[in-house]
Structure formats: C-alpha cells, structure tokens
Amino acid sequence: MNKVYKKTFGLLLAALFVGLLSSGINGYMSLLMRDLVDLTFASEKPGFMGIALRLVFFAFVLFLMQTLLSVMKGYYRRKTNLNLKTYYLRGVFNKNINEFNRESTAKYVSHITNDLNTIDLDYIDGIFELALAFISFFVIIIVIGGINIEILGIILVVSVLMGFLSNALSGPVKKLFLERSGLYEKYTGYLSEVLGAFRIIRVNNLYDRIEHNFRDRSLHLQQKSYQIEKTSTFIYALQNFTINLTVLIVISVSVYYTILGKLSFGGVILILSNFQSLIGPFQRASELFPRIVSARNLFTTLDDSLKNRENASEHIHMEGFRERIELDGVSYAYGENRVLEEVNLSVRKNGKYLIVGPSGGGKSTLLKLLRKYFSPDRGRILVDGQNLSEITKESFFRSISNVEQQVFMFDDTLRNNLTLYRDITEEKLTRAIREAGLGMFVEKLPGGLDTVIEDNGRNISGGERSRIAIARALLNDSDILILDEAFQSLDYDTAREIERTILSLEQLTVLNVSHIIIKENRNLYNQVLYVDNRKVETLENA
Ligand SMILES: Nc1ncnc2c1ncn2[C@@H]1O[C@H](COP(=O)(O)OP(=O)(O)OP(=O)(O)O)[C@@H](O)[C@H]1O
C-alpha cells in the first residue's frame, strides 16, 4: 500500500511547492507590513503609498496562489485515494478463493470504507497539512531571524520544548485510535451479518434478541469514541495551556527587546502576527502525529489482509486440458476434521462423471480441490502430468466452468449476465440459451435479453437463476464443466433435458455433484463416483 501511496509523491511535491511560494509571499508581506507600521510611527509619508500598493498587489497574488494550492491539494488527495482503493480491490480479487472465503466479506468492506477513509483523512491529508505548516514555519523563521536572531532563538527553544511536551502527551490517544479501528471492523462485520439475516430474523421474530446484542456492541463502540473524545479534550486543554504560556513569553520578550531598542514596533507586530505560524506546526504535529502514525499502521493491516498464506510458486502456464487429471494420494482436512484420505482418482478428457454420496461426505471438498480453491494437505493433483499447485490460476481457471449452488447476478441486463460482458455472437448466445433451457423464459420477458436483472436476481426464480448459470458455463468454451447441485431448483423434466444436453457435448469433461439422480440419463455418464468416509469409490463404469 505504501508503494501505491508514494506513486502520487510528485503531485504532493508540486502542491507543496505552491505552498512554499504562498508562504514566501506571506513572509514578504509581513516585512512590508512591518515597514508600513514603522513608517507610520516615524510619521514619514514618502514610500508609504508604494508599500501599501505593493501589499495590495501581493495580497491578490497570495489569494491566487492559495486557490491554486487548494485545487492541487484536492486533486492530489482524490488521486491518491482512488489509487489506494483500486489497488486494494485488485488485491482482494487476487486472493486465493479459499483464503478469501475464510474471512468475512465485511472485513474487506470495512477496510475499503472505514480504514481507507481514515487513511485519507488522517494520513494523506495529515501529512499534507503538517508539511504545509512546517513550510510556513521555516519561512517565518527566516523572516524573524532576519529581524532579530536572539528573539528567534528564544521563540524556537520555547516552541520545540512545547512540541516535545505535546507529543509525549498524545501517546494514550494513539492507542485508543488503533483500538477503535479494530472495533469498527468488527462492528461493520456484525451489521452486515445482521442485515444479511433479515429474512430469518423477521420470520422467527428474533429482533428482540438482536436488539440486545446490537445495543451492547453499539454502546461499546460509542464508549470507545467517548473515551477518545475525553482523553483528547484533556490533552488538547493541556496543550492550549502550554500555547498560552508560550504566547505570554514571546510577547514579554518582544516588548523587552523594543524597550532595549533592539526591535522596532513594526517588528513586534510582525512577530505577533506570525506567531501562529511559529507555534502552529508544533500544535498541528501533536494533533496530527498520533493520527498519522495510527493510520500508517493501517497500511500493514491492509497489506496483511491481501496476503495469500498459501504461496506455492505458480509458474506453469496451462494451454488447455489435453488428457487427464489425476489425484495421487490426496488428503484434505478442515482443522481436525479429515474429509479425504489418500484418494486416488483419474478423470479423463471429455469423460462424464457423476459424483454422489451422503451429505457432508466430502463431495464439495473434492470439487474445491479440483477447482484449485485450495491445495491438498498431502498428495498431488496432476493435470496432464503437471502439478496443479504449480499451474497459474489464470490459465487453469480459463479451462474450467463452474455452476455452483450460489449464483451471483449483476444488476444489469440478462444479456450481460449471460455473456459476463464478453463479445459473444448472437448465434452462440441463442444456442446456449436453448441448451440451458432458457428459451421460453427469454421469450416471455417483455424486454427479452435486454431485461434488467435487479438486485442480485430478486426478480427471477431459483430455477431461472440455475439455468442462467448453466448458460454462462456453456458460453465459456472451457474444457471442464463442474456442476455442484446445479439441478436442485429445477423440475425433473427441465433438469433431465438440460443434463442430457450437457452430457451430449463431446468436447466437454463433466463433473457433476448431484443429489438428484435422473434415471434416464444415468447411462450417459462414464463413471459414477461415491464420496464418503474419506474415500472416493467407483460405483459403476459405463
Ligand atoms: N469451510 C469449511 N470449514 C470447516 N469444515 C468444513 C468446511 N466445508 C466443509 N466442511 C466440513 O467438511 C465435511 C465435508 O463437507 P462437504 O461440503 O465437502 O460435503 P458434501 O458431501 O459436499 O455435503 P453436501 O452434500 O451436504 O453439500 C463436512 O463435515 C463439513 O462440515
């Protein structure tokens, strides 16, 4: 993430350069102002108008510079933020499927919303503001140093002491900010779960139980925010006290130097009017530094969430499936629960396999291993003799199509939901629609293929959803089709017809996990595999 943040470093420097010019103009105007005041006290008319006009001119230039600065800052922030968000989302989509599934999606949502928002406000903007404050600080140092170096020395000592003090005071706030970010992540996850369970909560009147839990969690989060608020207020009050003390010291020293004749009255006004730029950076640093540090830690959290723990080196590019897939002594366990043990199996190209077995027997796990969602704990899966864990995901996924139990629909037209945004000829699309048994459905739709599927398929039935998934898979032109309970929402006749069509496709290897056994089609399979008791057995060979 840090690398992505640094990509817009050029924009940051350009904007800060404009900030430097603005501060320079501001410093120069302070000197003009001092001269103006001193001329007034000396009752000298010549030169007065000239300085006054110059002041008006530079005030206008300063206005333009500051407008430019705010435009540049806005552009820099937007661009950096967008870069980070797109990088993160791309990273999420590069995760191993099983590792993505292991986490709740809410965690990623919370990272993209809460955490990247915090990074925007506290880190991107924080660093910018701090840098700007220090630029104006150094410019004013040069200006005051030019007037009286002793006063500058005194002011600097006082300011630096105060800066250290403020920083030391802000320690407890840093810790609280970090804790709150973790709480937000959990809270967002919890809310997504509750809203995801909307139907079951409504139907079973579970709201009272949910409300109790919701109140506890909300309260806990609010208490943490309140604690941050309380601690921060106390720390800011202490910091204000030190600032007031510093102001008092600086005023006293300046006035004393005027009495000694080492500083003109205009000089005192210059110091006092720029005092904020002198102590501002230390004040800002104490306020922003804890935020910057805790937001900086979020980079590590975000990077960690994108890491794939299984890092087998994938270096083989697969050019289509040619001969066979072999499972060689494959074992897999979810923690202590061993689901497959020493499984040996051979799947030949264009073969048709029906996979059956009791619920919880391990059928889906077998499919997940074959889909490369995760790797076996022991043994190997060989695709045309190459170890599947060494084959790149991109090239392998191109060879397989999946019809899973959960079918996602985009809020888009039926056409785009079928083609998944690829260029597909009308002829091919019509054939896939027919083979997936969607012909009548499309004909009846008033908008045909241009009908919009709403809200993840709210306006279509479960059976239509499965058929859309089957059509998608047929349009994929992949070598292997993996079906996981694809027919369970279909009536018997429709399921039979679609299954028959799929099994008649000669250039397709089919692995079908199904509880629904269609007797008329059973002999169309080359092999029926039975998965149970950690084993995969062949029930019958055609
Ligand atoms: N992600 C997971 N984490 C932990 N255990 C899991 C996970 N997925 C499945 N299991 C367990 O692994 C075993 C096999 O599950 P699997 O889903 O492979 O069975 P299945 O034969 O496909 O079942 P069904 O026919 O009910 O879909 C079950 O005991 C299940 O509880």
CATH number at residue 274: 1.20.1560.10
- Is the same domain home to 257 and 373? no
- Is the same domain home to 236 and 286? yes
Find out whether 325 and 400 touch, Cβ atoms under 8 Å. Answer: no
pLDDT for res 167: 66
Identify the domain boundary among 306, 332, 351. Answer: 306
Find out whether 338 and 510 touch, Cβ atoms under 8 Å. Answer: no
> Which ligand 1 atom is nearest residue 366's CA?
18
Residue 542, pLDDT > 60, answer: no
> Which ligand 1 atom is nearest residue 357's CA?
21
Q: Where are the alpha helices (DSSP H) in 420-520?
A: 426-435, 439-444, 462-475, 492-503
Find out whether 372 and 521 touch, Cβ atoms under 8 Å. Answer: no
Segment 429-486, tens digit of pLDDT: 999 999 888 888 898 888 889 988 887 667 788 788 888 888 998 898 889 999 988 8
Domain membership of residue 209 (yes or no) is no
Tokens representing 213 are: 């839990």
Which of the residue ranges 3-12, 107-116, 204-213 has the most confident prediction, judged by mean pLDDT? 3-12
Domain membership of residue 343 (yes or no) is yes
The band of 47, judged by pLDDT with boundaries at 50, 70 and 90, is confident
Q: Is 359's C-beta closer than 6 angstroms to any atom of ligand 1? A: yes
Average pLDDT over residues 131-153: 89
Domain membership of residue 298 (yes or no) is yes
pLDDT for res 166: 65
**Measured between alpha carbons, how far is 70 from 60 in angstroms, rounded to an integer?**
16
Alpha-carbon torsion (425, 426, 429, 430), positive or negative: negative
Average pLDDT over residues 134-138: 90
- Is the same domain home to 264 and 396? no
pLDDT for res 156: 80
pLDDT for res 247: 79
The band of 171, judged by pLDDT with boundaries at 50, 70 and 90, is low
* Beta-strand pair 352-356/509-513: parallel
**Measured between alpha carbons, how far is 76 from 412 in angstroms, rounded to an integer?**
33
Segment 253-278, tens digit of pLDDT: 888 888 988 888 888 888 888 877 77
Q: Where are the alpha helices (DSSP H) in 260-314?
A: 265-273, 275-306
Please give the residue range of the domain that contains residue 13. 2-184+225-306
The band of 154, judged by pLDDT with boundaries at 50, 70 and 90, is confident
- Is the same domain home to 334 and 297? no
pLDDT for res 255: 87
Average pLDDT over residues 330-338: 92
Alpha carbon distances (Å) from 476 to 95, 422, 442: 22, 10, 20
Residue 164, pLDDT > 80, answer: no
More confident residue, 57 or 373: 57
More confident residue, 169 or 408: 408
- Is the same domain home to 115 and 231? yes
Closest to 486 measured CA to CA, from 498, 478, 477: 498
Which residue owns the Cα nearest ligand 1 atom 18? Answer: 362
The backbone region for 485, taken as left when phi is positive above 0, alpha when psi lies in -120 to 50, beta otherwise, is left
Q: Give me ligand 1 centre to Cα 361, in Å.
A: 7
Residue 140 Cα to chain centre, angstroms? 40
pLDDT for res 311: 61
- Is the same domain home to 80 and 113? yes
Domain membership of residue 213 (yes or no) is no
Q: Is 334's C-beta closer than 6 angstroms to any atom of ligand 1? A: yes
pLDDT for res 540: 63
Domain membership of residue 295 (yes or no) is yes
Alpha carbon distances (Å) from 211 to 104, 200, 257: 22, 15, 67
- Is the same domain home to 279 and 332? no
- Is the same domain home to 338 and 270? no
Q: How many CB atoms lie within 10 A of CB 175?
A: 13
- Is the same domain home to 329 and 409? yes
- Is the same domain home to 101 and 15? yes
pLDDT for res 461: 81
Domain membership of residue 75 (yes or no) is yes
Identify the domain boundary among 272, 306, 340. Answer: 306
pLDDT for res 102: 72
Average pLDDT over residues 333-343: 92
Domain membership of residue 207 (yes or no) is no
Q: Is 290's C-beta closer than 6 angstroms to any atom of ligand 1? A: no
Q: Structural domain tally of the chain? A: 2
Average pLDDT over residues 337-360: 93
CATH number for position 377: 3.40.50.300
Q: Is 514's C-beta closer than 6 angstroms to any atom of ligand 1? A: no
pLDDT for res 436: 86
Q: Give me ligand 1 centre to Cα 372, in Å.
A: 16
- Is the same domain home to 17 and 152? yes
Domain membership of residue 196 (yes or no) is no
Using alpha carbons only, how large is the chain's radius of gyration in Å? Answer: 35
**Measured between alpha carbons, how far is 372 from 389 in angstroms, rounded to an integer?**
7
Which residue owns the Cα nearest ligand 1 atom 27? Answer: 359
Q: Give me ligand 1 centre to Cα 136, in Å.
A: 63
DSSP strands (E only) in 349-409 = 352-356, 378-383, 386-387, 400-403
Report the greatest alpha carbon distance in the chain.
Answer: 114
Tokens representing 343 are: 């499984």
Which of the residue ranges 116-130, 216-230, 403-417, 501-515 has the most confident prediction, judged by mean pLDDT? 116-130
**Measured between alpha carbons, how far is 330 from 309 in angstroms, rounded to an integer?**
20
Residue 161 Cα to chain centre, angstroms? 40
- Is the same domain home to 234 and 366? no
Average pLDDT over residues 89-113: 82
